[in-house]
Structure 1
Amino acid sequence: MKLKNKEIIAAIDNFENLNKAGLKLPGRVGFTIKQNKKKLLAEYRDYLEELNGIEAEKDSQEWKDTTNELLEAESEVAIAKVSPELLFDQDYEPILFDILDFMLEEIPEEGSAE
């Protein structure tokens, strides 16, 4: 799956916030989050390395332009998927589904052929 660096950063932050919130998730979902976080952190380290290598003066227009380009750059990340049905046993806040959306498998619509 292609993800922009800014999406990778947001996903890592969201995973951290879920962890801090102490939200109890089904084991398979928690394990998949852990797998994906590990992959995203590897991409984030590459982003930080490039960010730290910018040779323009911080807060200059050149620095801002370059950092914006880095945030928009895409990486191919092998995201592990999980069925959203694992989250249907409890009433979770809708924001959880927004946070996990990129790693949730699509549920086929009733009546559609797979």
Structure 2
Amino acid sequence: MSHMTFLFTYIDARRIKIDHGKSLVCYDGADCLQTNTCNECNGVGCIRMKSYNTEHIHSIALTCLPYATRIYQLEPAGCRISLAGDSEHCICYDTDYCNRATVCDLAENVDALRI
């Protein structure tokens, strides 16, 4: 890796405050919180997508941002509503408000996920 590539990767990582030494354990699955069937995944960040469209099969999908995405400039943490207003997506890199799995029971995390 060239020094310039390393420098830009370091700057991007500092900008979005990602610690390359840490990993998040996130929930993974669609509408799995209600049925306690969520899996777990590890990655650089956690994602929660919520659909407001009643025609979609699932209303909430949870997953991880893979480690391989660390080399890209990632979207800042937080929640955003789509331009069409039919969905919301949240990304988190170091907090529980989004989709971070803990040792707590899944039912206890429903409020933490603001679902």
TM-score (norm 1): 0.21
Q: Which has the higher contact order (CA 8 A, sep 6+)?
A: 1
Query: Relative to total residues, which structure has the larger strand share, 1 or 2?
Result: 2
Q: Which has the higher Rg, Structure 1 or Structure 2?
A: 1
